[in-house]
Structure 1
Amino acid sequence: MGFSLDIILPTLVSVSDHTSPLAKKWKSKMKKTKKDAALAVIQTLESELSLARGPLIPGLPDDIALNCLLQVPVQSHPACRAVCKRWHLLLGYKERFFTRRKELGFQDPWLFIFAFHKCTGKIQWQVLDLTHFSWHTIPIMPCKDRVFPHGFRCVAIPHEGTLFVCGGMVSDMNCPLDMVLKYEMQRNRWTVMSRMLTARSFFASGVIDGMVYVAGGNSTGFFELDLAEVLDPIKGKWRPIASMGTNMTSYDAAVLNGKLLMTEGWMWPFSFSPRGQVYDPRSNNWESMAVGLREGWTGSSVVVDGHLFVVSEHERMKLKVYDVETDSWDAVEGPPLPEQICKPFSVNSSENRIYVVGRNLYVAVGHVRRMKLTCTFEKKWSFFVGWQVVDPPEAFSDLTPSSSQVLFA
């Protein structure tokens, strides 16, 4: 049966020619670097495919053919790997495919959604390819059967293609967990990491300079913690850091300007202003959060272009941004979240895009633009957001998101 390479291979984008000597030198150097990397991968691949014969794609050098095949969408792999043995060995295993992509420097975003069934509480991960908007699954996360889906905290090191699931709580027992699980997209597998020093749930977490920080949360008997610790993912070891000086759980947390921000959020009957703490790893010191920051933090946060945004659970679920200079919040121009996005939701970002996952795993993609103002002396800039919605499969109709992380692979 014949097939068309026009259908299988991605479109090759031409780059405009630059004629300056410096541009030519840079272009030549980049070509040589990429070619050397491709040849190294080809040599490894050749050793694995020593029993297979014939070119990857007839008429093309193997380095160019490999470059093309590594850009084939994952949803097309079942059809493509039936072409020949060499394609099957490359595209038949996600581990090999993503390893080759990483070696050659391909980096596309994927949205990993930690969700649970609204009736049974059973947890699962669903993955959205943010380039082709197709859905995928990963191996089941190895953890206890009876876990409360809200108590976990998930963080990621996006360009390493790894995410961490920490802590949590056993359902109906008020028993916090100290477990730590790591998922590696390149290997498509879960690994059990060293346990946290303190079991906790509903705590703050974040990644700063490749280190995983956790703070506060609930201990046994809903006792609020002031303890904090940090994980070195390379060494696989936890060590304590400065205590917060105040016992509190986390409503939401974010990493901004190299610091971990933690807020307990507003609590009924809203008689007292919420507390907030800020940790600076350079000085190993905690300080109280600015009043305007913690009082206006009324939803799930995300950092884009060095600015803290919040998708408010109130105010018609519009997006707002924090102004550090005035310790105040400004509404982001543009429409509120699309009506398909219903609470509870989770939020994450990649470059200038915000991803909001709502009930039934509808995903709103917000394109954020920064605009410079020239008609006022009070503000130098403002932001605008426009939304588009990615519809989920019908099979997700009973799923509720708990967390979402962006990984690159």
Structure 2
Amino acid sequence: MSESCNSRHFSWLMKSCLPNPSDAKSLVPIHHHANPPATVTPISSLPDDLLLECLSRVPSSSIPSLTAVCRRWSRLLLSPYFLHLRRRLGLLRHSLFAISAVDSGLFAAVLQIQSEIPSWRVSLAVCNDGGQGSLSHARAAAIGPRVYVVSRNAVLRYDAWTGTVALRSPMIFPRKKFAIAVVSGKIYVAGGGGGSEVTAAVEEYDPERNRWEVVTHAARKRYGCIGAAVDGVFYVIGGLKIGNETSVISRGTAAHVYASSMDLFDVRSRQWLRSRSVPGGGCVVAACAAVGHVYVLSSHAVELSFWRFDARRGGGGGFGEWSRLKSPPLPAQVRLDGTVRFSCVGVKDKVAVVQVVGCIDDLLRRSGRSERGLRESLVLLYDTVDGEWRRAADLPEMITRAACACVEW
């Protein structure tokens, strides 16, 4: 890709600024006046801020071709300012995104929730740098249209606009079963680890510099925790304690406290706020952020409970309040055991609960029945406005052990 604009790679946007020799109107003689007309400035010579104003208004379908014009355009399209302008113009749409790794690359599926007939669109992306085979237990975090798939030893960036995959810098501390969330355009991870080693380091990833750094250490080491972010606070929720407790009673008490609690890290002040606990106990199995709240799904061995935590710190007085909501209506054949796990994703004013069966054969064998209608993954949508659940289209069959996120594109 050239550093400057090349006429052979002009997009329709640039061509529209140039006269067409075959157009009769463009061949009309120009009458010279006493004052010569001002010199026409090509779009490629505009400063970055004006060029961004132009590029931010193009249709989403044209963005992949714009990235191929030159390196300058590609750099501007990757900038957070481009996303800010499109968001201000109302040109970004929110979608539920699921991704899974296969030997040949990554299967990516996108569900347009706002569509009249929501359906999954599946694509296969190949990473030329390699590394997609090591994405076991990966977590996903999205910044605009770019989804970062973070695993123990590898990080991949998937661009929902262009369908391309790039290998990025891995975390400083290799970890799995960790919490992840996005705050102000940067990714934060906490908890997790490998084997009996659980790290207390909280890392921050800057996508523009492609660099990880440790920003703080957590007081409690959590394994299998979940992340969410609202109003500049990184929530590290649930998980297990792996420590040096000697007595069985102490280990059991600590495990119960960790499984139903959340630690709050204020990113701007670099301070830990007072920890909170989910009412009713239970084990947090999924959580996400949506419209200023943290939504938590807890398991109580034979049933699920669904909670909302007011995370708005704008002075309204509601910060820290819990509300119990209607539980998700799971199909009768879904049992709450080790074969099933859940993901929660906030998609504007909706909360998507994605149920993934780890091994469908094990589930059928334990149930003692042959359920032909049982799918490996189902998707339930909770409307935060009317408080009702509805079932969305199931995940496509090729999307297994999916990492989920919300993309803006």
TM-score where L is the length of structure 2:
0.61
2:392 paired residue number: 389
2:323 paired residue number: 330
Taking a change above 3 Å as real, the CA distance of residues 47 and 319 of structure 1, as seen in their structure-2 partners, is: same
Q: Number of matched residues? A: 309
Q: Deviations over 1:350-400 (max 9, x none)?
A: 221111222333222222226xxxxxxxxxxxxx2231321445xx0x753
Letter in 1 for 2:14: T
C-alpha separation in 2, matches of 1:49 and 1:131: 40
C-alpha separation in 2, matches of 1:147 and 1:364: 29
1:113 paired residue number: 98
Note if contact 1:211-1:231 (Cα within 8 Å) is conserved in structure 2: yes
Letter in 2 for 1:255: A
Note if contact 1:345-1:401 (Cα within 8 Å) is conserved in structure 2: no
Residue of structure 2 aligned with 1:320, choices 302, 307, 312: 307
After alignment, is 359-368 or 137-146 more displaced? Answer: 137-146
The Cα shift of 1:145 comes to 6.2
Letter in 1 for 2:146: T
Identity score, percent? 20
Structure 2 gaps of 5+ residues are 1-9, 24-57, 69-76, 242-247, 312-317, 357-375
The Cα shift of 1:201 comes to 1.9
Note if contact 1:296-1:328 (Cα within 8 Å) is conserved in structure 2: no
Taking a change above 3 Å as real, the CA distance of residues 51 and 355 of structure 1, as seen in their structure-2 partners, is: farther
Taking a change above 3 Å as real, the CA distance of residues 259 and 49 of structure 1, as seen in their structure-2 partners, is: farther
Question: Is 1:406–2:390 an aligned residue pair?
Answer: no
2:379 paired residue number: 363
2:13 paired residue number: 43
Letter in 2 for 1:353: K
**1:3-402 counterparts in 2 under 5 A?**
43-44=13-14, 46=16, 70=59, 106-115=91-100, 124-132=107-115, 133-134=118-119, 135-141=121-127, 143-144=130-131, 147=134, 149-150=136-137, 152-157=138-143, 160-168=144-152, 177=153, 179-219=154-194, 221-265=195-239, 270-272=252-254, 273-275=256-258, 276-287=262-273, 289-292=275-278, 295=281, 298-314=284-300, 316-322=303-309, 329-333=322-326, 336-337=329-330, 343-359=340-356, 360-369=376-385, 384-393=387-396, 396=397, 399-402=399-402
RMSD value, Cα: 4.3
Note if contact 1:164-1:182 (Cα within 8 Å) is conserved in structure 2: yes
The Cα shift of 1:266 comes to 5.6
Q: Deviations over 1:330-366 (max 9, x none)?
A: 3214763455877322221222111122233322222
2:74 paired residue number: none
Letter in 2 for 1:404: C
Taking a change above 3 Å as real, the CA distance of residues 390 and 283 of structure 1, as seen in their structure-2 partners, is: same
Note if contact 1:265-1:274 (Cα within 8 Å) is conserved in structure 2: no
The Cα shift of 1:301 comes to 0.8
Note if contact 2:177-2:223 (Cα within 8 Å) is conserved in structure 1: yes
C-alpha separation in 1, matches of 2:133 and 2:64: 34
Taking a change above 3 Å as real, the CA distance of residues 167 and 259 of structure 1, as seen in their structure-2 partners, is: same
Letter in 2 for 1:346: S
Taking a change above 3 Å as real, the CA distance of residues 240 and 251 of structure 1, as seen in their structure-2 partners, is: closer
SS of residue in 1 equivalent to 2:303: helix
The Cα shift of 1:225 comes to 0.5
Note if contact 1:319-1:336 (Cα within 8 Å) is conserved in structure 2: no
C-alpha separation in 1, matches of 2:402 and 2:212: 25
Taking a change above 3 Å as real, the CA distance of residues 114 and 263 of structure 1, as seen in their structure-2 partners, is: same
